Structure 1
Amino acid sequence: MTFPNGLCAFPITPADHAGRVDIAALRRLVARLSDAQVDSIGLLGSTGVYMYLTRDERRRAVEAALDEIGSRTPVVVGIGALRTDEAVGLAQDARAIGAAAGLLSAVSYTPLADEEVFVHFSTVARESGLPIVIYDNPGTTRFRFTPELVARLAAVPGIVAIKNPGWEPDETARHLAGQRGIVPAAFSIGCSGDWMATETMIAGADTWYSVLAGLFPEVCLGIVTAAQHGDAAEARRLDAALAPLWNLFRQFSSLRVVYALADLLDICHVEPPRPILPLPDAAKQQVAETLARLPAGITR
């Protein structure tokens, strides 16, 4: 397959305290992103709290999203699970419903060795038939993909892309060049870590997997478009306008902040799944004040 490069926007997954997905709210969220013409939607990513939802609820979420947007926007679905057989089942569900790809992390209670991760990913790709995006998320999983492991996995049929953690600006070019040298030409190299992504896209990454784009797709699309057209100054100008939000992300975590933003913007009134608590009132007021100071047009 040709992986949908560009901007991959990650919305929250609205759900009640029992983990039941609010289908109407989710449909509104993905419709906003599709209408904004993001390149793809990252459903049930970390921002979409995939690990806190049952298989049935994850299936309901994918069905609702695909029913809402059809084939207008490719959907990349989080399929991570503690067990390989569970990840295979989730990937099969996503493929049957019509997802474009699955986002797979190396999540485990027991620390994993490289060979265990290789077998896990290879098995999910082979048995599901769903194109797989490697999700390198060491901050959560405590597992980091080595260049050697990335090279091995990139050679596996059906593993088509990688979502890298954020790189500091002075390391971006080196990391990208090193990864380009070990993967096939068509293999998509992407980045997360919203506050570091602009420099990575300017340096030539293929995809920005963005938390903020799940709420503010237009400004994030502006950054990606500018970077793709070689207009680094414009990409950096837009990124600088978002600096107050990046500070909040670093201070409180992007997940808690986007839940607060969704509420303040009257987009979706839900709380993150327990044991994660919503921001306390003082922090939410800080988010509200930051939101009020953003330049006009950012919050679209």
Structure 2
Amino acid sequence: MTLFTGLSAFSITPTDVVGRVDATALSGLLERISTAGVNSIGLLGSTGGYAFLSREERRRAVEIARDSVGGRVPVIVGVGALRTDEAETLARDARTAGADGLLLAPMSYTLLREEEVFQHISAVAGAGDLPLCIYNNPGTTRFVFSEDLIARLAQMPNIAAIKMPLPADNDFRGELARLRAHTPTDFAIGYSGDWGAAESLLAGGDAWYSVIAGLLPAQARALATAAMAGDRLEAERLDRAFQSLWDLFREFGSFRVMYALAEALGLCRAIPPRPILPLDAGAAARVEAALEHIGANIRP
């Protein structure tokens, strides 16, 4: 398997109120993920709150990951930033600190054009000199990658994969066929959006970039294993257990829900970075009920 295939588990990044990474908490979360046997760890992705962290804390998070799970499971590090030079610096920092691969979304304040995104991603891929996964995340960046732009970027050095949003028409097979017709055979195409993960893998997607695997890695791995094996009945059975949680993700955003999940599971003191507020008591109770449905262990 290559770096960007299988189940990639994205961790939250626990911090204190001033944005300093909690090394003990992060190490514990990463060890939990590693033990479950995932294919890779996604660090400092959207779930990891990379946009809320300073350069120093982002580098420190990668060093913590290296010291915790380095050599046992590959670590893919998000290096998104508003400026190209800043993203290049973050990519170099990640490589020096021990990252195995990079993840890059085209962050912006001003809506970007295709040529701007092409040059931005190409430059960061060159600076990082590690395999890089394009992060197509229009819900956050407001930029939608055209299939032509994906095909163009896939030809560039170090650009090895793309993390796609769920297709609006749910036509995974059609989208995968079109993208694979215009990208190198070793270019990996995976999906985020946990409620569509089973279907994306059943359709032949290369990877599930999973939010929930950051806190429930064993349960997510069971779902991914069934789907990648083509066992539709088992994958659908396992996916149904997650439906209440997927509903919460869609209603409140997975970022907020993951912090409530970490609290409910007793894994760490998890307070989202301001201005993001914790879920209220009613929503938190729904999170605990969703966990019970999945069969996860909740602290007393």
Give me the TM-score of the superposition, normalised by structure 1.
0.96
Determine the structure 2 residue equivalent to 1:288: 288
Rounded Cα–Cα distance in structure 2 between residues aligned with 1:178 and 1:20: 43
**How much has 1:53 moved relative to structure 2?**
0.1
Rounded Cα–Cα distance in structure 1 between residues aligned with 2:189 and 2:287: 32
Determine the structure 1 residue equivalent to 2:94: 94
**How much has 1:297 moved relative to structure 2?**
7.4
User: Once the two structures are superposed, what CA deviation does each residue of 1:254-289 show, in whole Å capped at 9, x if it has no partner?
Assistant: 111110010011001121111100101121122122
Partner AA of 1:46 in structure 2: S
**How much has 1:178 moved relative to structure 2?**
1.1
Unaligned runs of 5+ in 1: none
- Percent identity between the aligned chains? 55
Determine the structure 2 residue equivalent to 1:160: 160
User: Does the CA-based 8 Å contact 1:8-1:208 persist in structure 2?
Assistant: yes
**How much has 1:170 moved relative to structure 2?**
3.7
**How much has 1:128 moved relative to structure 2?**
2.2
> Would you say how many aligned residue pairs link Structure 1 and Structure 2?
299
Determine the structure 2 residue equivalent to 1:233: 233
Determine the structure 2 residue equivalent to 1:21: 21
Rounded Cα–Cα distance in structure 1 between residues aligned with 2:281 and 2:170: 37
User: Does the CA-based 8 Å contact 1:134-1:163 persist in structure 2?
Assistant: yes
SS of alignment partner, residue 77 of structure 1 = strand
Rounded Cα–Cα distance in structure 1 between residues aligned with 2:166 and 2:199: 10
Unaligned runs of 5+ in 2: none
Q: What RMSD over aligned residues (CA atoms) do the two structures have, in Å?
A: 1.6
SS of alignment partner, residue 41 of structure 2 = strand
Rounded Cα–Cα distance in structure 2 between residues aligned with 1:256 and 1:175: 30
Determine the structure 1 residue equivalent to 2:63: 63
SS of alignment partner, residue 103 of structure 2 = strand
Partner AA of 2:278 in structure 1: P
Residue 224 in 1 paired to residue 224 in 2? Answer: yes
Matches within 5 A, 1:192-211: 192-211=192-211
Residue 250 in 1 paired to residue 250 in 2? Answer: yes
Determine the structure 1 residue equivalent to 2:80: 80
Partner AA of 1:86 in structure 2: E
SS of alignment partner, residue 133 of structure 1 = strand
Determine the structure 2 residue equivalent to 1:189: 189
Rounded Cα–Cα distance in structure 1 between residues aligned with 2:161 and 2:108: 21
User: Does the CA-based 8 Å contact 1:125-1:159 persist in structure 2?
Assistant: yes
User: Does the CA-based 8 Å contact 2:265-2:297 persist in structure 1?
Assistant: no
User: Does the CA-based 8 Å contact 2:4-2:161 persist in structure 1?
Assistant: no
Displacement over 4 Å in runs of 4+: 296-299
User: Once the two structures are superposed, what CA deviation does each residue of 1:141-196 show, in whole Å capped at 9, x if it has no partner?
Assistant: 00000001000000001000000012257421111111111110001101000001
Rounded Cα–Cα distance in structure 1 between residues aligned with 2:296 and 2:136: 34
SS of alignment partner, residue 247 of structure 1 = helix
Give me the TM-score of the superposition, normalised by structure 2.
0.96
243-252 vs 38-47, which moves further: 243-252
SS of alignment partner, residue 47 of structure 1 = coil
